[in-house]
Amino acid sequence: MLSFEDARAKVIEVMGARACAPARMTATETIDISPDPSKALGRILAEDILADRNYPPFNRSIRDGFALRAGDAAVPGARLRLTGESRAGFAFNGSIGEGECVRILTGAPLPKGANAVLMHEYTHLEGDFVVLEQAAYPGQHYVLAGAEARVGEVVISRGTRLGYAELAMAAEVGRGRLQASCRPRVAILSTGDELIGLGDKPGPFQIRNSNSISLAAQVASAGGEPVLVGNARDEVCELRARIEHALRADVLVLSGGVSAGRYDLVETVLQNLGAEILFDAVAIRPGKPVVFGWCCGKPVFGLPGNPVSTMVTFELFTSPAIEALSGYDPQPLPLFKAKLAHPVAEKGTVAHFLPARVSWPSGETGGDPKVKALLWEGSGDIGAVVRANCFLVVHASRLQLEAGEWVDVFPRRGKL
Ligand code: AMP
Ligand code: MG
């Protein structure tokens, strides 16, 4: 059985080799970032964005104070004649001569002749003169024109995921419209005779289809466009027909029906359709029976139906496939270390992803993050994940851990 690391690497390798060629993947669309930039948030840039001019476009003061010639202010106590003002949007129209200074405000252009700004806190006025209480050095408190970016320079590279800073940069350089990769369409097909829709009244043994909802949300956060294609009963003909229909999307994600029970038909039906099964088990709990295959030219994921298993296996294995299809280089798992708050003793031979909470000591001085696994009732317990902000990763190679050990933590997307 593959380790979760190897299974994830397999997905990334196969996607890179096979999936990143179809026309749809390279298709791009234009997105307006104004007036509503939220449409662009999280999208993958399909072009390089260039600086339209130097940034800053002029030598820009970063303090309120006085622009001066540093040579006039080499020692404290100098008196300089105040000859004008430069403020944001309005430059001082002249240049600074020897023994002169100009009042300057943050964001204002540095006047000609000046090569330093002294903060007003270190000055006082005496009539038309400014007395400097501190020396100034050349280059102090302003940013040189072009120091942040030169005209024509790439300021955001193709393949970058657009966040608030990237959108601000696009706005700064005057790019109200951006080319982004089209989001891959991800069909979500649940399976199970016991499942009903959200609006239906459950019978005593029926279960609402929550996986289609969590999967749709996860698909959207991974950069895909979720397409809910309903639920298939645990019956070969119906399942086959629904899978064939769903394969019109770029990726198919199924939930349920992948264990070894007599009503678990997903793998069989995929095989009947000629699918190549790349793996059908991964050494993790929750989520051991997880299928990754290739069917009719499309990647297919058969995720186990227990809701927490569905969530965890999606994050580990499906999400990098969606990233790859949306033009984003799949990233390594964002694990970080925290100190375990209590001993852990897991059984078996597989890695465990336990719903957990990580916290940092409060206060300015910081300190080590601490992680605590939550009580839970196993992989059907959605509430445990609601209470969690991460998963504690207990590797198969070390299932017994002591309090105070540094352990791996897998953040819950959007919660940390
Ligand atoms: P399965 O993987 O089909 O054996 O399902 C395992 C468990 O997950 C069963 O208790 C199912 O009722 C539950 N389950 C399967 N699919 C869903 C779903 N779409 N939403 C909520 N629970 C589900
Ligand atoms: Mg089932």
What's the pLDDT tens digit per position in 9-39?
A: 999 999 998 876 544 456 899 999 999 999 9
Mean pLDDT of 329-337: 92
**What pLDDT shows up at residue 20?**
67
Q: What is the pLDDT of residues 396-415, one digit of tens each?
A: 999 999 999 999 999 999 99
Q: With a 6 A CB cut-off, is 195 part of the ligand 1 pocket?
A: yes
Kindly identify the ligand whose nearest atom is closest to the C-alpha of 231: 1
pLDDT in tens, 264-280: 999 999 999 999 999 99
What pTM value is reported for the model? 0.93
Residue 258 alpha carbon, nearest atom of ligand 1: 2
Distance CA 68, CA 142 (A): 12
Q: Does residue 223 have its Cβ closer than 6 Å to ligand 1?
A: no
Does ligand 1 come within 6 angstroms of the Cβ of 214?
Answer: no
Q: Confidence band (pLDDT; 50, 70, 90) for 127?
A: very high
CA of 55 to the centre of ligand 1 (A): 55
Residues 375-397 have a mean pLDDT of 98
Mean pLDDT across the chain = 96
Which pLDDT does position 24 carry in this prediction?
Answer: 46
- pLDDT score recorded for residue 360: 93
- Our answer on whether the CB atom of 83 is closer than 6 Å to any ligand 1 atom is no
CB atoms within 10 A of CB 271: 13
Confidence of residue 322 (pLDDT cuts 50, 70, 90): very high
Q: Is the CB of 304 under 6 A from ligand 1?
A: yes
pLDDT of residue 21: 54
CA of 306 to the centre of ligand 1 (A): 5
